[in-house]
């Protein structure tokens, strides 16, 4: 049964909470106090969110370095969920760019809160109005992947005609990177599992390699960018694929946490390793809205779960078998 929130701030709302680190089962559905927007905040009734790798990492408290941000002994933020799409319920007195009834989407990095029926975000946060041609589920499933993929592609200064290889091309970041690299005019080689070959090809990849059928690291090299979109490949394994002057990037710490020291070691080398930190800005989400509206980007959704099946959704994400994104239907 849904709650009615109009004029009832501080009433109870449904949310998925956790008060300790551990497996997916530490997550539980509970009634918690609904938030009240401050002067510069927007109150959003969340219709859809996602479960992504950031959610699972913060819930597990792994790798341990995560706990410097999430809480050393127990989670500081009991409600996870960083991506959202929904409807503005109310606005603070100083808010001018949003009004009640606006359909919005965005991302709340490291602060989370989207696995709940209501959440507050600052007007200046990465939150924008939704294009009319996308659903709540589609809008919720794009921001994190786009922000991360765009970060790597821009730092690598990908230009039209350059060659880009994307390993893990069927995940949230990978499907975003394929589409964005093609939109930039690059020639894209994508690496993925058999079951995802046709999906990745439909996103525009010029060449798709099934890593179960052949050794993708043995193909002819000369790539301007090799992007490991799942953070599992050691640089030395695919170093020969990077052309002189090119760059290798990964979305995670990689084997033996090599990403913590390789960027410094290869700073002046012919083949460099970079690990840029993403910037979640309103401008990037506005750009994402533009791509969606113009049909230059599409959300890739594997499965959609209701909020009360968050444990099952999380287990599926951690199975590492998902294609694109796993969406949570909240309201």
Query: Residue 1: what pLDDT?
Result: 33
**In sequence order, what DSSP letters do the residues of 225-284 get, joined into one string?**
EEEETTS---HHHHGGGEEEEEEEEESS--GGGGGGTHHHHTTTSSSEEE-PPP---HHH
CATH architecture of residue range(s) 12-141+299-329: Alpha-Beta Complex (3.90)
If you average pLDDT over residues 24-29, what whole number do you get? 98
Q: pLDDT averaged over the chain?
A: 92
- Provide the token pair at 324: 């694109």
Q: In b/e form, how buried is each residue of 175-192, taking b as 16+ CB within 10 angstroms?
A: bbbbbbbbebebbbbbbb
Q: What local confidence, expressed as pLDDT, does residue 262 receive?
A: 66
Structural fold of domain 145-274: Rossmann fold (3.40.50)
Instruction: Tell me what pLDDT residue 259 has.
Output: 63
Model confidence pLDDT, tens digit, residues 151-195: 999 999 999 999 999 999 999 999 999 999 999 999 999 999 999
Query: Which residues, including other chains, have CB under 8 Å from residue 1's CB and lie 6 or more apart?
Result: none
Calculate the dihedral angle through the C-alpha atoms of 240, 245, 246, 248, rounding to the nearest 10 degrees.
Answer: 70
More confident residue, 8 or 244: 244
Q: Is the pTM of this model over 0.75?
A: yes
Domain boundaries along the sequence of the chain = 12-141+299-329, 145-274
pLDDT of residue 8: 47
**What does the pLDDT look like over 36-84, one tens digit per residue?**
999 999 999 999 999 999 999 999 998 787 888 888 899 999 999 999 9
Over 50: is that where the pLDDT of 7 sits? Answer: no
145-274 and 12-141+299-329 share a CATH fold? no
Q: How confident is the model at residue 3 (pLDDT cuts 50, 70, 90)?
A: very low
């Amino acid at each position: 049964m849904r709650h009615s929130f109009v004029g009832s701030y501080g009433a109870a709302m449904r949310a998925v909470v956790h008060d300790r680190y551990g497996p997916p089962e530490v997550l539980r559905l509970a009634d918690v106090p609904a938030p009240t927007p401050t002067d510069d905040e927007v109150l959003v009734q969340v219709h859809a969110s996602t479960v992504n790798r950031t959610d699972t990492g913060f819930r597990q408290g792994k790798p341990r370095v995560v706990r410097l941000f999430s809480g050393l002994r127990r989670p500081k933020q009991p409600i996870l969920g960083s991506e959202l799409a929904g409807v503005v319920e109310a606005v603070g007195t100083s808010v001018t760019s949003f009004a009640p009834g606006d359909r919005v989407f965005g991302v709340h990095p490291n602060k989370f809160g989207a696995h709940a029926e209501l959440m507050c975000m600052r007007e200046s946060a990465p939150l924008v109005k939704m294009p009319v041609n996308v659903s709540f589920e589609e809008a919720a499933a794009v921001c994190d992947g786009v922000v991360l993929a765009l970060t790597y592609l821009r730092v690598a200064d990908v230009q039209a005609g350059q060659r880009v290889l994307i390993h893990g091309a069927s995940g949230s970041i990978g499907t975003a990177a394929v589409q964005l690299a093609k939109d930039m005019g690059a020639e894209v080689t994508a690496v993925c599992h058999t079951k995802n070959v046709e999906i990745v090809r439909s996103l525009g990849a010029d060449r798709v390699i099934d890593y179960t059928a052949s050794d993708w690291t043995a193909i002819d090299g000369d790539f301007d960018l090799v992007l490991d979109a799942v953070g599992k490949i050691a640089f030395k394994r695919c170093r020969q694929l990077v052309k002189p002057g090119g760059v290798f990037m990964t979305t995670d710490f990689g084997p033996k946490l090599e990403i913590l020291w390789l960027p410094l070691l290869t700073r002046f080398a012919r083949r460099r390793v970079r690990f840029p930190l993403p910037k979640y800005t309103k401008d990037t989400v506005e750009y994402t809205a533009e791509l969606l509206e113009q049909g230059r980007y599409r959300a890739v959704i594997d499965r959609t779960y209701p909020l009360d099946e968050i444990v099952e959704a999380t287990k599926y994400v951690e199975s590492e078998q998902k294609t694109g994104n796993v969406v949570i239907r909240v309201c």
